[in-house]
Structure 1
Amino acid sequence: MGQAAISVVGLTKRFGPVAALDGVDFEVPAGTVFGLLGPNGAGKTTAIRILTTILRPSGGHAVVLGHDVVREAATVRRLIGLAGQYAAVDPNLTGRENLRLIGRLTQLPRARLRPRAAELLDRFDLTEAADRPVRTYSGGMRRRLDVAAALVPEPPVLFLDEPTTGLDPQSRTALWELIRELVRDGTTVLLTTQYLEEADRLATRIVVVNEGRIIADDTPAVLKTRLGNTVIELGMGDEARAVRAAAVIAGRTGEPPEREGALLRLASRDGSRLLLDVLHSLDTGDLVPHTVTVRESSLDDVFLALTGHRTQGPAPAAGAVPAGAVAAGAVAAEPAPAEGTASPGGPS
């Protein structure tokens, strides 16, 4: 998989009595997309903020491209880009002006400001709208501009915190292709998302976080195989029939199916045999399903099996971090110490 671009060992972060991260370990191979998944409040964004030097860890150790995120925070900022959950570009500036502003904040050489902005506007299909105020952009255009802004200083490592939140399917697919292009060009991407299809399509490896701890770490294919290759969904028509059917299935298989209202869901490595057994049992009990669906297991099924619930829609952010602010050192929720100094409770 190559050398690790990001290495995290025993990372913890406490907010009073609450442990947002509780001993997290993972490595991100260089030149790959790494997916960090979890429900709201799982600790995903906290991990991103620590890795991008916005927050100090309470304990543990995190390194980006060989540089400690606490002791060498200024160096880390020069090597990374960050696009947060919501577009953080200035709506009153044009797209071109936003990119040039980020270039100045990140100390891009003056001679590179105009050509770099033009390159990114072209790459993200924004050239025609480059001189319009961003407030006239669609949601998809703003998200593309936000990612472009994070790329102005040409960072080798890019953090994308739920980058496709609120996008329509066409815009989401277009942004996925842009992410693939970045990785083909050698960029390392750490992606947090609640869209499991997104992680399945983009990520080489996935970590699932729940209540501040890692509960799974593997490739999407392996995670799905562990659950079972086939998912059977039985629509029972109403909840009362579903409850009765679930009891019959549990008696037959020894394990109750997942129930979601009137829908029952079972995962198996031997889907055809299980389906025949279940349908026979239900027919005997006069509980023939209204609908039957057989499909391959998905990351959503894996997520449910691991966390006990499905993903939720992203909650509104309390405040957005400007796309280029981390690299520029312009924003820090907790000021990072100067290089060569350790933060209290952080890595020594």
Structure 2
Amino acid sequence: MRLSPRWAPIMPAMLLALAVAACGAEPTVAAKDAATNAATNAPAGATEKKINTGPDQNRVRAKKVGAIAAQVPAPIAADGELAVGFSGQGAPPLGFLADDDTTYIGVETDIAQLVGDVLGLEVKPEITSWENLFVGAKSGKLEVVFNNVTVTEERKDVYDFATYRVDQLAWQVPKNSPIKAISKPADIAGLRVSVGSGTNQEKILLDWEKQNKDAGLKPAEIQYYTNYGDVLLALKSGRIQAYFGPNPSIAYNAAVSGDSRIAGTASGAGPDLQGLIAAMTKKDNGLVKPLNEALNTVIRNGKYKEVLDRWSLGNEAIPESQINPPGLPRQSS
């Protein structure tokens, strides 16, 4: 869902503002000691789920697989550690600070842990900025990045990818909004909407706008905000009627706050391609194959599902990890 993310803090006392988005520059709010529902678009009958946001995570663990561990390139395996990059800004439930404001937790850290377990390596978290994740991976300082990074054709020139989630966007509306569903361009005609500037979701939204214009429909009024807290305030006050951003963050926030809901979802890659989130490593360093095999191991043995369900992201599961699949198209210069 992104071309580059960032966000800022905000929110009520019990919420800790953090941010990230692998697909787009959108902020997100983490809740402390909050009971959250999986996703606001969960199936009928879904029950509330208490999510552990404390520092003692009791993570789901996997067993080492010797045949896969043996494939890890010697320079990476030598110190017994796997240097994993995460963004210093956080987007729950992907990656964010626990209640102690120190421990980095989330679905990304849990999946990285599973992979480290299968490879027989101790996960060494490296917290940095979004931009430095790419710099670090390119230099080899970061041996792998688990940070909601979407596969793109341009990125594949420099990095190798092993997929582990679908890249999904969502439309967030106030809980009591008369908007029932947003699934096609005509659904936003005449609405006041917000999206992160410079993100892939903005590209999709602008394409919808063009389609509406060609169809003679009323244009939407697009508003941009620097951080997610301002987006939420705009939704609450009625300055905007809908927000288009990363599904995981919106689902988490909607569940925690209880005052908004998801009115629709879409592929982060647009209508013609299902976007995919992947572990990113330096191109041709020899690590992508063991990463891929480790991910497929935990997909098959159920540990992967345990992690996604733990963070209420089961609807973003993939049946199999792929190496360097088709990514978001190249940007025209």
By the TM > 0.5 criterion, same fold?
Answer: no
Query: Which of the five TM-score ranges fits, normalised by the shorter chain?
Result: under 0.3
TM-score for both structures, normalised by structure 2: 0.25
TM-score for both structures, normalised by structure 1: 0.25
Higher helix content, 1 or 2:
1
